[in-house]
Amino acid sequence: MNNVTFEPLRWQEDPVRITVFHDTEYRRAYYQVTAPRDPEGICRGRPVEELPRILTLLSPSHHLVSAMVLDKLFGVDPPPMALNMREALLQAQFFSHHLRKLYFLLSSWHDPFSDYGRHGSRKELKMFPLHFLDEIMHHQALSQEAATILGGRPNHPLCAVTGGVSRFLKEEYYQRLSEIAQFCLKFAIRLGGFFRDEIFGDGKALEGFDAYQIEPMVGLTSAEKSGHVVLNDPVGKTNDPFSPDMLFKKIGLHQASWTCEPFAHIKGASENTTEKTPGESGNMFYAEFPGSNPQFFFVGPLARLNSQDTLLSPLAEEERQRLIEVLGPFPHFGVVAAYWALLVELLQSAEKMTELYVTEKLTGPAIRTIPSEMGQVGHAVLESPQGLIYHHYRTDQKGIVEEVEVLGTGSANNVLRCLLTQKAVDISQARGETWKETQNRIEISLLPF
Amino acid sequence: MSDFEPKIIAFLCNWCAYVAADTAGIARYKQKPNVRVIRVLCSGMVDPSYVLKAFAAGADAVLVGGCHPGDCHYISGNFKAMRRAPLLKKLLTEMGVASGRFRLEWIAASDAPQYAEIINEMCEEVAGLGPLSPSITE
Amino acid sequence: MPNKKIAIFTATGCRACENAILDIHYQVSSLAHCADIIFWPYVAGSQWSDLEKQENIDVCFFAGAIRTAGDREAALKLREKSRMMVACGACAAFGGIPGLSNLNRSGMVGGQPQGTTDNGQQTHEEGKPRGLPPLESRVSALSQIVKADYFVPGCPPPQNFLWAAIQSLVCEGISPARLTFAASRLPEAISQAVSAGILPPKGSIFAGEKAVCATCSRVKEEKRFETYKRSYQDYEASGRCLLEQGLLCQGITTRGGCGGLCTAMGQPCRGCFGKAENIFDPGAKMVSAISSTFDSEDAQEIEAIVDGFVDLLGTFYRYTLPTQCALLSAPSKDLKHE
């Protein structure tokens, strides 16, 4: 059985191995996560108020959703200033996360450590001077600085606690925050111009990726105002929003033997009964699931844009219109659209930062509401930069955690990644590319999700 | 497991508990031989680290003996020991060290028979518990 | 002087340490002046097969704890090839938050059974990919698998110490940036070495010497408290020492150098820099520190106060369970690092 392995895979949060079997008529590609995370095991037995600091291991935004669960569990509403501070931190995380992904994309063409040649570095494509990457990192550092001011540490924040945030901001920080927001917005606009010219639309750089798409898939997003969760079916059927505590009634987790990360899927069979012929992308994969017609979903910037009409932030909305001009109307399921969605959300987060990083929004009489009683159950969802995340805790009377359920983007997008990997391998090999080039295709396809 | 001989480390305060142990020895009270005595100047001197170190080094049980409250040679030293004991016990229990393995006892200098009794009791209890193998427990 | 060859790798953990290196002073590309980054899977896509072609590596920054057989293999492979291994971050240095899995009694981790040599997936199904690396019976830190030469603790390590480590081990003093800000909080032996451009003594920990309390900005008055508070209860967010207010703050047993990051944010320290010098067991030291503040001489009262404390193991050894818990840790390969 001939196979090719790529390990570890670049730019992934988890340790990942790709295995492709290629000696039969159809190539079967597997996206394998090679180590488990075990958030449940780590949290069981811990005092529940410690969970924001522990679960930030999964990603910085998990810190915020964890605090939201605590608010529910203790039955408190954070004061407006605290909500603004948490939102401000979230926007800094959005900016930082999306910028990093775009940096990685650019670094695949122009190696920042270019003293040493590396595969995938197409030196002939000198689209931009090397110091442009440095400028990107400079603005990355600025948004990390904002995250540090608001949250204590950039990658593992501290500030979100039960009922609010842990401390007031110091005087001198308001000025700095608003400066940072200005710099970030200006840069986001410049970056947008560069990407439009060189990468998207008329740009040649992502030309080969037009066909890299998955079949239309339901998107799982949160309805902003209500905090409810929505399954957006691209075939047009509207689904009712449901409250977060119903999430694991609608979503199931399936564990396969060949990957540590479970697959999140929609419970119940799909109404789409078209028979899938062998060889069609991902068909081997469908056989993994119990039942005859599994229904899948994905999360992330593209899922969010698929579910919204007009964006409130003007510059982001302009960018979204440009996307529609070039790629057609939403919904989209391709790699190029996913990268463009990152850009749209980058602009959106920069605009939200300029709105929020003002003294009036970030001052107030109280930083948190002290709880007077303790419940035993809490649920919350949050749109993190990488996609919707969900936490659920159950405690005993002393507030010690008995059960933790987490839906992270690793599980939520696991199906998408598998399908996209298979697609990338199929297209790339059909075009006669080398395995090294296929590896690069896989990396670039998976990066924006 | 009748041939398991527990190792007990006893931190005894110089002014009361050690004197009692000494007297018990001279008066030939019947005692189990499993005790290794460490004479300290006051039970308040026994840092929780010493207790953990004793367990880590292979002790199956640890005894801390001090003067009765109010009789401490250094006035309030034994209160320090008294304050530490419950929290230390809690930590040890979480680590899988059964509560019978660590005792804080007040032993007056004249109370040699009590000393002997405590030793014998501890030995029996720990022999029943078996050798110490720390693991996580509830 | 030829460029140093460096490798950067994370086993089990998160990407915060590697992102911290990437975010170094927003001049990560200037690393290229003094180093060839020949193995950085996360950023450069390096494969294990690339590593095999290399003769040797000068400095390897290893982050993440060892949870699977794959992690262990990675640690061994990199140690074999590298002149110097740096345990980067609390996970590699002490076990970190993944180490809390050792308190998980269910025997299963994320759907995988723990500690079996053959976890069933090795029975090769036709057409299915090679099985996943089996889980070890416990999570370990890097120093329990191979000898680690230097440690940069923290979750994630603060920029200044990472930069100091890179300066001293990779650039060996020859670099465009100034060093003084990094050298100021380091113990003398290391900061002198960093400034002079020579290697610090093996086993050095790139952090402070004293406890966090020495650099914490909060005001310390009389240490007494009557009840133990949990952090969802009411307390002063800034100003007074947290331990004095009844919270469990581990600054007293934790190595300093971070400048009291968490306490400045109003959150109690949880010990991500590991235990301070001359401490045998951080849990024991915390017991001693806390119980010395109990304002009572009555045994019943003290029992009542102690009853409120919860999850001592998970709190005192939050980041250090695999290595620094006297009763529950396995021995380290590096005898100098206790």
- Taking the Cβ of residue C105 and every Cβ of chain B, the question of whether any pair is shorter than 8 Å is answered with yes
- How many Å from the N-terminal Cα to the C-terminal Cα in chain B? 25
Instruction: Please report which helix (H) or strand (E) contains residue A363, including its range.
Output: none
From C284, C299, C312, residue closest to B94, measured CB to CB: C312
Which residue in chain A is spatially nearest to C132 when comparing CA positions?
A: A34
- Identity of the residue numbered A417: R
**Of the candidate ranges A168-182, A257-271, C180-194, the one whose mean pLDDT is the lowest:** C180-194
CB contact under 8 A, A398 and C48: no
Query: Residues of C with CB below 8 A from A50's CB?
Result: 231, 311, 314-315
- Taking the Cβ of residue C291 and every Cβ of chain B, the question of whether any pair is shorter than 8 Å is answered with yes
Overall average pLDDT of the C94-111 stretch: 79
**Residue A180 near residue A145 (C-beta atoms within 8 A):** yes
**CATH number of this structure's domain C4-196, picked from the four choices 3.40.50.150, 3.30.1540.10, 3.40.50.700, 3.90.1150.10:** 3.40.50.700
Which residue in chain C is spatially nearest to A151 when comparing CA positions?
A: C265
Q: Which two three-digit tokens encode residue A277?
A: 């012929």
The count of C-alpha atoms lying within 13 angstroms of the C-alpha of A255, restricted to the half-sphere facing its C-beta, is: 10
**Residue A447 near residue A11 (C-beta atoms within 8 A):** yes
From B51, B79, B87, residue closest to C306, measured CB to CB: B87
Which residue in chain C is spatially nearest to B91 when comparing CA positions?
A: C312
pLDDT band at C113 (very low <50, low <70, confident <90, very high): low
Q: Phi then psi for B129, rounded to 5 degrees?
A: -75, -25
Q: Is C207 helix (H, G, I), strand (E, B) or coil?
A: coil
pLDDT band at A117 (very low <50, low <70, confident <90, very high): very low
pLDDT band at B136 (very low <50, low <70, confident <90, very high): low
Q: Is C106 helix (H, G, I), strand (E, B) or coil?
A: coil
- Identity of the residue numbered A437: E
Has residue A28 got a pLDDT over 90? no
Which chains does A contact via 3+ CB–CB distances below 8 A? Answer: C
Residue spans of alpha helices (H) in A216-334: 247-250, 283-286, 301-307, 314-327
- Identity of the residue numbered A42: I
CATH 3.40.50.700 segments of chain C: 4-196
Query: Residues of C with CB below 8 A from A8's CB?
Result: 41-42, 47-48
Mean pLDDT of chain A: 86
pLDDT band at A203 (very low <50, low <70, confident <90, very high): low
CB contact under 8 A, B52 and C290: no
CA distance C112 to chain B (A): 20
> Is the bond into C156 cis (omega within 30 degrees of 0)?
yes
CB contact under 8 A, C16 and A443: no
Directed axis angle between helix A80-107 and helix A131-151, to 10°? 160
- Identity of the residue numbered C105: R
Q: Which are the contacts of C222, defined by CB distance < 8 A and separation ≥ 6?
A: C244
C55: burial class by Cβ within 10 Å (0-12, 13-18, 19+)? exposed
Overall average pLDDT of the B86-98 stretch: 91
pLDDT exceeding 90 applies to what percent of chain C? 30
Neighbours of A351 (CB within 10 A): 23
Domains of chain B, first to last = 8-129 (3.40.50)
Query: Residues of C with CB below 8 A from A21's CB?
Result: 127, 129
**Residue C245 near residue C229 (C-beta atoms within 8 A):** yes
If you ran DSSP here, which 8-state letter would residue A255 be given?
A: -
**Residue B14 near residue B44 (C-beta atoms within 8 A):** no
**Residue C193 near residue A10 (C-beta atoms within 8 A):** no
Q: Tell me, what's the ipTM?
A: 0.89
Has residue B35 got a pLDDT over 80? yes
> Which carries the bigger pLDDT value, residue A282 or residue A350?
A350
SS (H, E, C) C100-162: HHHHCCCCEECCEECCCCCCCCCCCCCCCCCCCCCEEEEEECHHHCCCCCEEECCCCCCHHHH
> Which carries the bigger pLDDT value, residue B137 or residue A338?
A338
Q: What is the pLDDT of residue C110?
A: 60
Nearest Cα neighbor of A155 from C16, C274, C35 is C16
Overall average pLDDT of the C6-28 stretch: 85
Pairing of strands A228-232, A218-223: antiparallel
Rounded to whole angstroms, the Cα distance separating A213 from B82 reads 69
Q: What is the pLDDT of residue C35?
A: 81
Residue window 25-64, chain A: list those with CB within 8 Å of chain C.
28, 30, 32, 34-38, 40-42, 44-47, 49-50, 53-54, 57-59
